[in-house]
Structure 1
Amino acid sequence: MQSILKLIRWKNLIMIALVQLLIKYALFEPFGVTITLNGIGISVLILATLCLAAAGNIINDIYDVETDLVNKPERVIVGKTISEKTAYNLFFALNIIGVGLGFYLSHVVGKSPFFTLFVIISALLYIYASYLKQLPFIGNIVISALVALSLIIVSIFDLLPAITPSNKEAQLTFFKIVLDYALFAFIINLIREMVKDMEDIDGDYKAQMNTLPIAIGRDRANKIIFILSLIPIVAVIFYITNFLYKQEIAVAYFLILVVAPLIYISIKLFSAKTKKEYSHISIILKLVMLFGMLSMLLYPLILK
């Protein structure tokens, strides 16, 4: 069981579930927004998302065995504690459950075409692991877009089916808030994926993958990541100065737990060279993502 939990990356799955719950119960519910999903509905959506994400993690590990044997041999699970056949069976089972739950939920909210989202997510996760991950930058963008979609999908199923002419403005306001968070998740994850490519360059090179640092060289790739790391700093400061400047607690939260770590990351990226340094930056980026998402709890203060 422990090996299966590691294979599906249970900590990442908890993060996804937490963010989706925050959107539902920290953003939508407290402000009386017209919603579609009840407790069971949001549970089904979360379970469907987690099944597809877990399946994506499994297929990623299956295709990454060769690179992981070089980059992190102590973390290799497929072929060691879990056979490749068992991993594939889990991958197919989780995909079937995830897509099946998505089909059910789409009909419950009366928007059957929404079902195609789950099919697209499932297909993209497989294509990413088997092919796109080997391409410079494209794979990073695709997986980051899927991370952003895990936030937007809550709005798609909870807000959009409940839109009427009378509540359209309020619904779209909260949809835009979620979209802002999704864009934040996209850029932070994009930077982190590129940092991981720098960290894993030796194994990726041996496996003949063509990630960005392999395609254009370490130094050029590092400069691009450094420039990208400035974008969320500027974006969050813009957000603070335009929307939060009257809320001292919210301003302090964002400056201390989001902006300061982002500046630290940029400084570290400017001179990063070793695998250990990139691993450290990756961990800080994960924390920034967590604190960024937890800021949804501040919205009773921000929108009061």
Structure 2
Amino acid sequence: MNFLKLIRYQNLLLLAFMQLILRFGFLKHQAIYLFLNDWQYGLLILSTILIAGAGYIINDIMDLETDADNKPERVIIGKSISEAMGYNLYFVMNVTGVGIGFYLSNLIQKPTFAGIFIIIVTLLYLYATTFKRMLLVGNAIVALILAISILIVGVYDLLPLTFETNQKEMGVYFSLLMDYAIFAFILNFIREIVKDLEDVDGDYNQGMNTLPIALGISRTAKIVFGLGVVATVILLWYINEYLMNNQLYYAVIYCLLFVVAPMIFFIVKIWNAQHKKEFHMLSNLLKWVIFFGILSVSVINLNIRYHA
């Protein structure tokens, strides 16, 4: 159980479920061929969660002192699992994840695409050791990696079967995946700043340069408020432009209830938020907004089918 806590199994399950939704809740129901069969797609998910889990491990190893200040009750490395064992797990999970990525890249006859997995491993390592101490850089890196985990579905399932004759059709699906990747990037970027607000005391003691340390909690909360407003306006525009105008009313209702409404709640609460518990709750709220946002692709698909 300590190992599962170490790799943040809840986050990994959400990540895996999001990738399952994109394929089985949407792409599988379209009039297109997908390159990977189901077990090969399962390997793609496995590779993603292994590398992500390894990223959590190296982050905890590098954050021993910070976590002792921010969340001493949740420290695992050095207590339940030794630091040496942590490094061994980090190595094995990364090697396995990249190895699977190399196999899949050769399967689609694009061996150089294995570099995507190596780049993710490198970014996660640099985040844990360097980038997270740099103003907003670490936040952007984490948000980018989540976006890549969405785009990678198209890279391995759609790109190998994209030719000159169907390029326009496949482009529509790539464009949709890009929209969801941008959505995930924006909200996860905001969430990472909220997590910095939650961990400001420990980060300050360790000499990190996060936005709350540079500007203070109150000013950073106001900036997050502004980012939340912008994100919500973009969401409303997208819902009107692509769902309302196509009369996908069930999808509109779903998005308003499970994506926009929580974002409005977030905006209201973040304005005056000051305490660690408040930021922790708002961080978790954004995680679920991202999840329900990705799930909307399945709702949209069902609405299209029954509307037709």
Report the TM-score when normalising by structure 2.
Answer: 0.96
SS in 1 for 2:99: helix
CA distance in 1, matches of 2:101, 2:34: 18
Root mean square deviation of aligned Cα: 1.1
SS in 2 for 1:32: coil
Alignment partner of 1:199 is 2:201: no
CA deviation string 1:101-121 (max 9, x = no partner): 111110011111111101100
Shift of 1:70: 1.1
Q: Which amino acid aligns with 1:224?
A: I
Alignment partner of 1:185 is 2:184: yes
Matched-pair contact (CA < 8 Å) for 2:51–2:94: yes
Q: Which amino acid aligns with 1:148?
A: A
Alignment partner of 1:62 is 2:61: yes
Matched-pair contact (CA < 8 Å) for 2:22–2:298: no
% identity of equivalent residues: 45
Matched-pair contact (CA < 8 Å) for 1:34–1:171: no
Report the TM-score when normalising by structure 1.
Answer: 0.97
Structure 2: which 5+ residue stretches go unaligned? none
CA distance in 2, matches of 1:162, 1:132: 37
Shift of 1:271: 0.9
CA deviation string 1:182-218 (max 9, x = no partner): 1111111111110010010001111111111112222
Shift of 1:252: 0.7
CA deviation string 1:70-116 (max 9, x = no partner): 11111000001000000000001101001111111100111111111
Could you say which residue in structure 2 is the equivalent of 1:171? 170
Q: Which amino acid aligns with 1:54?
A: G
How do residues 114-133 of structure 1 correspond to structure 2 at under 5 angstroms? 114-133=113-132
Matched-pair contact (CA < 8 Å) for 1:250–1:302: no
Could you say which residue in structure 2 is the equivalent of 1:268? 269
Q: Which amino acid aligns with 2:178?
A: L
How do residues 82-97 of structure 1 correspond to structure 2 at under 5 angstroms? 82-97=81-96
Shift of 1:33: 1.8
Shift of 1:233: 0.6
Could you say which residue in structure 1 is the equivalent of 2:303? 301
Alignment partner of 1:258 is 2:232: no
CA distance in 1, matches of 2:133, 2:242: 40
SS in 2 for 1:290: helix
> How many pairs does the alignment contain?
303
Alignment partner of 1:143 is 2:116: no
CA distance in 2, matches of 1:300, 1:34: 19
CA deviation string 1:133-176 (max 9, x = no partner): 11110110011000110000010111111101221111110111
CA distance in 1, matches of 2:2, 2:42: 25
Moved over 4 A (4+): none
SS in 1 for 2:165: coil
Matched-pair contact (CA < 8 Å) for 1:136–1:211: yes
Structure 1: which 5+ residue stretches go unaligned? none
CA distance in 2, matches of 1:284, 1:115: 34
